[in-house]
Amino acid sequence: MRSGNTLDYFFSPRSVAVVGASADQTKGGYNLIANMLESFSGPVYPVNPGREEILGVKCYPSVRDLAGKVELAIVFVPAAAVPGVLEDCAAAGVKAAVIESGGFAEVGEKGKELTERCLEIASRTGLRLWGPNCTGLVNTDPFIFTPFMRAPKAHERLKPGNLGIIAQSGMLAAGFMFQYVLSGFFQVSKACAIGNKIDVDEVEVLDYLSRDPRTRAVVAYLESIERGRDFLEVARGMRGRKPLAVLKGGRYEEAARAALSHTASLAGSDEVVDGALRQAGVVRVHDFHDLMNLGKAFSLHPEPFRLNSPRGDGVAVVTVTGGGGVVSTDMLRESGLSVPALEKRTLEALSGIFPEWMPPSNPVDIWPAVEKRGLTVFPEVLRHVLDDARVDGVILLPFASRLLEYFPFEEVGRLIRESGKAAVSWVFGDLRFFGHYEERLREFGIPVYTDLRSCVLALRAYLQYSRAARGNRD
Amino acid sequence: MRSGNTLDYFFSPRSVAVVGASADQTKGGYNLIANMLESFSGPVYPVNPGREEILGVKCYPSVRDLAGKVELAIVFVPAAAVPGVLEDCAAAGVKAAVIESGGFAEVGEKGKELTERCLEIASRTGLRLWGPNCTGLVNTDPFIFTPFMRAPKAHERLKPGNLGIIAQSGMLAAGFMFQYVLSGFFQVSKACAIGNKIDVDEVEVLDYLSRDPRTRAVVAYLESIERGRDFLEVARGMRGRKPLAVLKGGRYEEAARAALSHTASLAGSDEVVDGALRQAGVVRVHDFHDLMNLGKAFSLHPEPFRLNSPRGDGVAVVTVTGGGGVVSTDMLRESGLSVPALEKRTLEALSGIFPEWMPPSNPVDIWPAVEKRGLTVFPEVLRHVLDDARVDGVILLPFASRLLEYFPFEEVGRLIRESGKAAVSWVFGDLRFFGHYEERLREFGIPVYTDLRSCVLALRAYLQYSRAARGNRD
């Protein structure tokens, strides 16, 4: 799984030293070594001059005592001690260091000096640096987990997935990890918290992920994009091939100022950023929640969908609630998608299923037909809707109740899969039936959300990405 | 609890007949009678010419056999039979009827005729009509639950609350009921699904709720507002006194068309609607999820907050994550709120708490101070921030982990309550700690959301509503 890229030393190191390992269970240095000893398959060396052993493993006073034995060092010592540690690393033949310590550029002049010293060592010795001021990275295959938060049995809980995550903020990256990754909201290939990114930056990481065969889609939270041109070039290379969504903070002056003090990065003019990202085929969002919801959508279906209409933006709403149809139609239109009138042959086919008094239209309100003939009308209607040449994607709006036990999941899932068209689903109603519904649709690669806004966001991104892929083929 | 208004017959009837009661457990008519027999404290009479008894209770062939005994009839028979039932009701001295049957104006000419006949009976006899094509209403005190979905022990599960809900769509109303009300997301005073609203309409219900002492705030989903002027007059009367949020569907042509076929109502020009609602002090939203989240916020704190700044729109972000501070600042600015620089005395006070290298600002990133001195800095910082005259509201951004066991809930909650200022909280991190966090803050009337967007939405509504209240006092 090594690609010959120097970032391999971070993602797939053969051996690791934890510098600043601690035996004190309240410290991050303990969490680090405990996580690594438990979950990393290669040799792990604790480094701490004050200890003989930690967790039953021999502890070394300095990385210099491990000459030739270590590929990656995880460094969690006070900022002032970091340059010395890096010199030790270089001297011992270490290839790469994840610096998790804070107290660098974000803390003023003294920190800037420290940063310069670290960079000087890197450029002199070839040692690659990740961070500082971050929680590092996670790779699910081969497994490595560097955050300084304790995550027992991380290697068993984190199943290998296809989503790459990049986050500039350490605490958020940790939040993403606990809330979305460890909980199974989606499954990641690699998660990267890049912090102050003084050496390895978002561009290099994105480029690595764009080439990584295990990564099929990427979501990124960034406070700054410094090498804008390079970033866009990588993004353009992914266009239509690997979906990419970006949350770029610091759009307003007050936020840009905060971004500066937080990770010492200058945010670019937001209008320029916005236009450039769009042109490069990047889906831009403005909330973490949206970014994670797109992560789920992309991860469930990273492949482009089959577009049928010339503009590739036609959505049909198949709903058991008239009100849901009305509101989702408003939201689809507002987001720039169209809710086209269905083809004549579709309407004729639906007329045969609907009660006589109900003329079919889009949104397709199937409740009267369900009342008349039961849930079997759901796939019947869906087949005709998916056959419609004006329809590129569908939103399903069922009602969660005991009735879902009779929902024809297999038929609905197969129809959608065979159509090659994009589909997302809202679920509302009795909470007890949400889990089963989501699980069954997930098997067919269909994301389920509890708010319509996320449905529309995901579907829009699906179609945007599929149009980009169509553009590539033209 | 009777106000002398004829709607009392719906919300607080002394006795109820269920016309169309069924013994077949797969039918709505069964759910209706089962719910009512179980949960209504007064006499309940099943009416069905084909049964001697239902659920052990004597069944009557017609409402006429109950002359003088029934105040409210719940009608769930085929549309064509409804006029006859209403004649029976009027003849038997029934005061009000909830018509839940579908098949009226929404199904074309024949339905329109039926509607006319019902209205003629109403105007001739004084019988008040609710619906048709709806699930009716819920009142939590005194208890009545008319939806035709089975909700066992509804009277035990639905604790009396302060939120009024109005929904034009039956299925959505049922969804709201199961997903938000029965699950305890918020607690309602009255929930009203008004369907085709041929007699009792949104204006009359809103007016009733605006006078109802148990209702302190209202959220409404409407597809149309037919008596616009009257609606706005009621809304203006609530301005600054009872918060009101409205989701008005049918903004775009395609959706308006769907609204027409769904509940047979004409949607007005959206721009006119939008401006008028804003002027009347109504908070408008565009997704159900947003409407429910505002319902939670309003229900937790229906009273206006103390505003400190001249414009009443200043927000401080108190955060453990720099990235969260950046993104929430962007979102606050985008939503029209300000994120002001703090007063000099506040900054000086915070300097004494923050590490030396970290100049305090807004967003207030307290993580370095927490690292240095523990979670006790949270209330210390918060006190100074709440004292700041430029701050009208705060967003709290903690990190959910085992650390929350040490979170000073009492102190934080008391500080916010005593300040009289608006507060909302995001929670992110380890899902296992979300429930406890939300529960503790709820005790102090502070809503917690898992997405920043909902935090910003709720805080903006809190401040909007408090400005309206300030306007009333001026």
Q: Which of A174, A249, A359 sits opposite B330 (nearest CB)?
A: A249
Q: Taking CB atoms and an 8 Å limit, are A330 and B286 in contact across chains? A: yes
Q: Taking CB atoms and an 8 Å limit, are A174 and B339 in contact across chains? A: no
According to the model, what pLDDT value does residue A278 have? 87
Q: What's the gap in Å between the CA of B396 and the closest CA on chain A?
A: 15
Q: What's the gap in Å between the CA of A273 and the closest CA on chain B?
A: 15
What CA–CA distance (Å, rounded) separates A75 from B278? Answer: 55
Cβ distance B147 to B153 under 8 Å?
A: no
According to the model, what pLDDT value does residue A279 have? 87
- Enumerate the residues of chain A whose CB falls inside 8 A of the CB of residue B325: 255, 258, 262
pLDDT one-digit tens code per residue, B280-333: 999 999 999 999 999 999 999 999 999 999 999 999 999 998 889 999 999 999
Q: What's the gap in Å between the CA of B91 and the closest CA on chain A?
A: 32
ipTM of the complex: 0.90
What CA–CA distance (Å, rounded) separates B72 from B93? Answer: 10
Superfamily of chain region A1-133:
NAD(P)-binding Rossmann-like Domain (3.40.50.720)
Q: Which of the four pLDDT bands, split at 50, 70 and 90, describes residue B107?
A: low
Q: Which of A178, A258, A451 sits opposite B329 (nearest CB)?
A: A258
What CA–CA distance (Å, rounded) separates A241 from A459? Answer: 17
Instruction: Give ranges for CATH 3.40.50.720 in chain A.
Output: 1-133
Q: What is the pTM of this model?
A: 0.92
Question: What does each C-alpha distance from A242 to A117, A216, B155, B321 come to in angstroms?
Answer: 37, 6, 52, 29
Cβ distance B210 to B234 under 8 Å?
A: yes
Instruction: Give ranges for CATH 3.40.50.261 in chain B.
Output: 159-302, 315-473
- Enumerate the residues of chain B whose CB falls inside 8 A of the CB of residue A108: 357
Q: Which of A323, A331, A431 sits opposite B286 (nearest CB)?
A: A331
Quick one: which of A240, A193, A198, A251 has its CA closest to A220?
A193
Instruction: Give me B284's structure tokens.
Output: 């408008």
Q: Taking CB atoms and an 8 Å limit, are B179 and A428 in contact across chains? A: yes
Q: Which of A182, A327, A333 sits opposite B287 (nearest CB)?
A: A327
The fold of B159-302 is: Rossmann fold (3.40.50)
Nearest CA in chain A to B250: A326
Average pLDDT over residues B156-172: 89
Instruction: Give me A209's structure tokens.
Output: 């992920």
Q: Which of B172, B286, B326, B365 to mutate to test the interface with A (most CBs of A within 10 A)?
A: B326
Nearest CA in chain A to B339: A254
Q: Domain B315-473: state its class.
A: alpha beta
Q: Taking CB atoms and an 8 Å limit, are B255 and A430 in contact across chains? A: no
pLDDT one-digit tens code per residue, B228-276: 889 999 999 999 999 999 998 888 888 877 766 655 454 556 777 788 8
Helix, strand or coil for residue A385? helix
Q: What's the gap in Å between the CA of B250 and the closest CA on chain A?
A: 6
Provide block-wise average pLDDT over 10 residues at a time, chain A (474 residues): 89 98 94 97 97 97 98 96 98 98 76 94 97 94 94 92 90 79 88 93 97 97 86 94 92 76 57 82 93 97 96 97 92 96 98 90 92 90 98 95 88 97 95 93 96 97 94 64
Q: Taking CB atoms and an 8 Å limit, are B401 and A149 in contact across chains? A: yes
